[in-house]
A = this chain, B = another copy of it.
Amino acid sequence: MSDHDSGRAPQKRVTIKDVAKAADVSPMTVSNVVNGKHQFVSEPTRKAVEREIARLNYRVQHSARSLRVSRRRSVGMIFVDESPSFLVDHFNAHVVAGLCNVLSTADHTVTVQGIRAGQFNQSSIIRNFAVDGFCVVLSGPPDARSTILDSLINLDQPLVLMQEPIASPNQETCIVRQDDAGGGRLLADHLAARRVGTVLVVVPSQNWPAIDQRVAGLREGFQAAGGDVRIDVVQAETEEFDSARAAVMGYLDRHPLPDAIVGGNDRFAIAAMSILLDRGIAVPERVKITGFNGFEQRRYARPLVTTVISSAYELGERAGQMLLTRFEEGRFPTRELVLPVHFELGETT
């Protein structure tokens, strides 16, 4: 009796019971209203209940519902990454955005977590994630990845692996990736047509399967093109711009100028290019440059880098759709989904 619209001081949580009492119906009816089971509720009672819900500012207690129905309506997005700022990579950022947006249309929530490979197995946080399924981007050498994969599978929850070149190990796991190897081949074709003889590839030392695939595709492409191309690979210590620059400088100081530099992604390509420009080496006349991804940052550097376009946002969306149909229908629609990539000519080749 105490509270009209003025007195809003519910120090105790408003439950379905409170609403039921206020609307003079049973808790079950309130539950039916809340869950949109309108077949079970008459129009007038529904209105009355809805009014009380609004008046009391009732919100469902998610944990109680989850406990009852064994569904969290939530997925965990995990990045195994050595960098604390794991979301600063545009690929990751796009994936999260796409995943998030798809899932939220189905009233699902996304919990993100970046974690270093070495900490993965000690981490209680992942084991105790309150989610219905996972979407994971792995990094590191194959054996480390496979150890982590085992822990993940052990969680016994639906799992989408992003950018993993392996086959999905079981029914509960599904792969969503893009054709990185194909992208590498596209670049090789393009460079081969420009009669490139020596190529420097710049990659991070942290082992990203997608980047490995790009390099593998590049080799394949050059092989198929016939010509006798020499490929050198240098690794940058970290993923950072300056790290890539250092790696390229180190190489250039000890080797003759290559005909082309291929970055594992656009950042690496642009870092390499910045060195060449510092040294007054003409791009693309003297050295050609290609990147990978084609996100917005590419526009900042000039000349515009020739690249292969990734649909990272769409990868995130697809992963979300996969998980949703897995939740609703009990199985993934397919064990593997591969998105195409697109060659994008710039001014550096």
Residues on A facing B (Cβ under 8 Å): 3-4, 8, 10-11, 13, 57, 59-64, 66-67, 70, 72, 74, 84-88, 90, 93-94, 96-97, 100-101, 104, 107, 109-115, 124-125, 127-130, 154-156, 170-171, 240-242, 267, 270, 274, 277, 295-297, 299-302, 313
Cα(A87)–Cα(B90), bound, Å: 8
Please, which residues of chain B bring their CB within 8 A of the CB of A277?
Answer: 302
**In the bound complex, do residue A94 and residue B101 qualify as a contact, i.e. CB atoms below 8 Å apart?**
no
Distance of A113 Cα from B103 Cα, bound (Å):
10
Instruction: State the CA gap A57–B150 with chains docked (Å).
Output: 13
> A54 vs B107: C-alpha distance in the bound complex, in angstroms?
34
Nearest residue in B to A10 (C-beta to C-beta)?
Answer: B156
Q: CB distance A63 to B113 under 8 Å?
A: no
What are the residues of chain B within 8 A of A155 when measuring CB–CB? 59
Contact B241 A299 (CB under 8 A): yes
Closest 10 A-B residue pairs measured CB to CB?
Answer: A62-B130, A63-B66, A87-B93, A300-B300, A63-B63, A300-B301, A63-B67, A85-B97, A111-B111, A88-B93
Q: Is the CB of A59 within 8 A of B97?
A: no
Task: Give Cα distance in the complex from A84 to B312, angstroms.
Answer: 13
Q: For the complex, give the distance between the alpha carbons of A84 and B129 in Å.
A: 26
B8, B85, B113: the one within 8 Å of A109 (CB):
B113
Name the one of B64, B72, B104, B301 contacting A301, with C-beta atoms under 8 angstroms: B301
B contact residues around A300 at 8 Å (CB): 241, 267, 270, 274, 297, 300-301
Contact B301 A60 (CB under 8 A): no
Q: Given A10-B156, A104-B125, A130-B130, 9 other A-B contacts at CB below 8 A?
A: A62-B63, A66-B130, A84-B101, A87-B93, A100-B113, A109-B111, A110-B111, A297-B297, A301-B301
